[in-house]
Amino acid sequence: MITALGRTTMESVQYLGQLGLLTWETVKAMFVAPIRWRLVLQQIIEVGSRSQVVVAVTGVFTGAVFAAQIYFQFQRFGMGTAVGSVTALALFRELGPTLTALMVSGRVGAAIAAEIGTMKVTEQVDALRSMGVHPIDYLVVPRSVALIVSMPLLVAEACAFGIIASYVIAVQMLGVAEAPYLRYLNNYTHPSDVAIALIKGFVFAVIIACVACHEGMETANGAAGVRRAPTRAVVISSLSILGMNLVLTFALNIVFPSSR
Amino acid sequence: MIEVRQLSKSFGGRPVLREVNLTMEEGKTLVVLGRSGCGKSVVLKHLIGLLKPDAGCVLVDGEDITGLPERKLTAVRRKIGMLFQSAALFDSMSVERNLAFPLRELGMTDEREIDARVAEALDMVGLGGEQMKMPADLSGGMRKRVGLARTIVGRPRCVLYDEPTTGLDPITTDSINHMIRRLQRKLRVTSIVVTHDMKTAFHCADRVALLHEGRVHFDGTVEELRASKDPVMTDFIEGRSGETD
């Protein structure tokens, strides 16, 4: 058992090292090689624009369900009007970034791993290298930049749709008074909450890009490898997002304390 | 032009190449023969730095490329074109964009010149007018030809062919063999052909090397190959496995 634990630890450290190396190579490539803006734009359309529906729907249902649950619990203490502010805080600080990242990891991370993985096993990555094109410049940088640009915007979109849904559920359906709902929402939601959402979106984008590109670039063993790459990319990036969210929650609470 | 010295490579502890020595002469065709899995493609991938050797070195125009980092290999790789075993066409791009890709990477921006070079390369492989097709719409032989056109469109000084006729019918194989010879004469490129097809070897080679158990077992002319009485050589040429029914 100790041997197995040791082996798992070693493999995890090795994996983290590989991710760190890929991140370093990607950051370095952004400065030493020209960024292929046309590819970045294509990827922003693929990663950002085409993820909007899934992210908006996630935001709507999360905001709606959360607003309903908060109302059911809070109205017992006569605090039903706090639904808006509590939902907004939860969406900006936790639910918006985390759920958006999990959805994007499933939709985009899997696609990136499968696409690069297929290129790897069909020698297309080697063909790029044989033409003097660095795969990091051509494949990893455009996808990473696109994710880093798109994710904070997608998080903002999910939060916005969540808050609108919460308003519809609380005010239109459950009969919460509109004026106090909006006053609490305005008084207790601060720019720092939005900043937390955007920072988390940025960090989660880095995680999805690194894990998905790494899984793609390390794909081997033909079709079986291509089948495994997206699964691994989604599982590893999802778990990393959840773990990193805990770390960020504590770290960002120091930077943006909630007791204001 | 290219020299391989004492090249050794192992995968997962299993030695594939053991102190391989080869010299590729400028403007000539070297055919590297050997059984499947004997390391022929591994040799080829070392020649443009796609693999790093465990020991030994590869010299291109006298420069040792084995220690060069990926970004510094660009200049070397632009002298050499490689036709991959699977053709390795970019499946998201049309034939035209596949061929234009290396030209744009070389810095060409004049679209009319790019179109002309693409059309010329496709004509050379007998596929003129097929620019708009996608790789998925091509047969195996056509994919190999498009791959070859993409390899030569940048006018490299040396072309590496990884199993150019594997999996093709005899007529297409013969056509590809003629094409390799024609391109070598027309463009005066140095060619290195990795194959286990004896017909390709006899048709294309100026010199032949046979890899056996990770080493160069034979290195000589086609005539010397034909005259050889070495059992390893004769078994390979005549396709004898030594097994009985």
Q: What is the pLDDT of residues B180-231, one digit of tens each?
A: 888 888 878 899 999 888 888 888 889 999 998 888 888 888 888 888 888 8
Kindly report the three-state secondary structure assignment for every residue of B32-84.
Answer: EECCCCCCHHHHHHHHCCCCCCCEEEEEECCEECCCCCHHHHHHHHCCEEEEC
For residues A114 and A228, the answer to whether their CB atoms sit within 8 Å is no
In chain B, where the domains are located: 90-152
For residues B101 and A131, the answer to whether their CB atoms sit within 8 Å is yes
Name the DSSP letter for residue A170. I
Quickly count: other Cβ atoms within 10 Å of residue B36's Cβ.
9
Q: What is the pLDDT of residue A259?
A: 56
CA distance B161 to chain A (A): 12
Side-chain half-sphere exposure of A146, counting CA atoms within 13 A: 28
Q: Inter-chain contact B88–A124, Cβ cutoff 8 Å?
A: yes
Mutate to test the interface with A, among B44, B74, B99 (most CBs of A within 10 A): B74
Q: What is the pLDDT of residues B96-106, one digit of tens each?
A: 999 999 999 98
For residues B127 and B142, the answer to whether their CB atoms sit within 8 Å is yes
What is the band of B45 on the pLDDT scale with cuts at 50, 70, 90?
very high
Q: What is the pLDDT of residue A93?
A: 93
Q: What is the pLDDT of residue A80?
A: 82
Say whether pLDDT at B176 is over 60: yes
Q: Inter-chain contact B77–A32, Cβ cutoff 8 Å?
A: no
Q: What is the pLDDT of residue A105?
A: 95
Helix intervals (H) in B188-244: 198-204, 222-227, 231-238
- Please state the separation of Cα B136 from the chain's center in Å: 23
The per-residue pLDDT string of chain A (260 residues; one tens digit each, 9 = 90 and over) reads 788 888 889 988 999 999 999 999 999 999 998 999 999 999 999 988 899 999 999 999 999 999 999 999 998 888 888 899 999 999 999 999 999 999 999 999 999 999 999 999 999 999 999 999 999 999 999 999 999 999 999 999 999 999 999 999 999 999 999 999 899 988 888 999 999 999 999 999 999 999 999 999 999 888 888 999 999 999 999 999 999 999 999 999 998 886 54
**Residue among B46, B42, B44, B19 at smallest CA distance from B30:** B44
Q: What is the pLDDT of residue B48?
A: 92
Regarding predicted confidence, which is higher, A29 or B235?
Answer: A29
Mutate to test the interface with A, among B78, B85, B86 (most CBs of A within 10 A): B86
Contact list, B48 vs chain A (CB under 8 Å): 129-130
B161 touches chain A (CB under 8 A): no
Q: Where are the beta strands (DSSP E) in chain A?
A: none
Q: Inter-chain contact A126–B75, Cβ cutoff 8 Å?
A: no
**Residue among B43, B73, B42, B41 at smallest CA distance from B60:** B73
Which residues neighbour B162 within 8 Å (Cβ) at sequence distance 6 or greater? B41, B44, B82, B83, B84, B85, B194
What are the CA-CA distances from residue B115 to residues B103, B106, B130, B153, B199 (Å)? 10, 15, 13, 11, 35
For residues B9 and B42, the answer to whether their CB atoms sit within 8 Å is yes
Q: What is the pLDDT of residues B101-140, one digit of tens each?
A: 999 998 898 999 999 999 999 988 888 888 899 999 998 8
Q: Encoding tokens for residue A159?
A: 């939060």
Contact list, A122 vs chain B (CB under 8 Å): 86, 88, 91
CA distance B228 to chain A (A): 36
Pairing relationship of beta strands B29-33 and B55-60 according to DSSP bridges = unpaired
Q: Say which range, A193-197, A256-260, B54-58, B90-94, has the weakest mean pLDDT.
A: A256-260
What ipTM, to 2 d.p.?
0.89
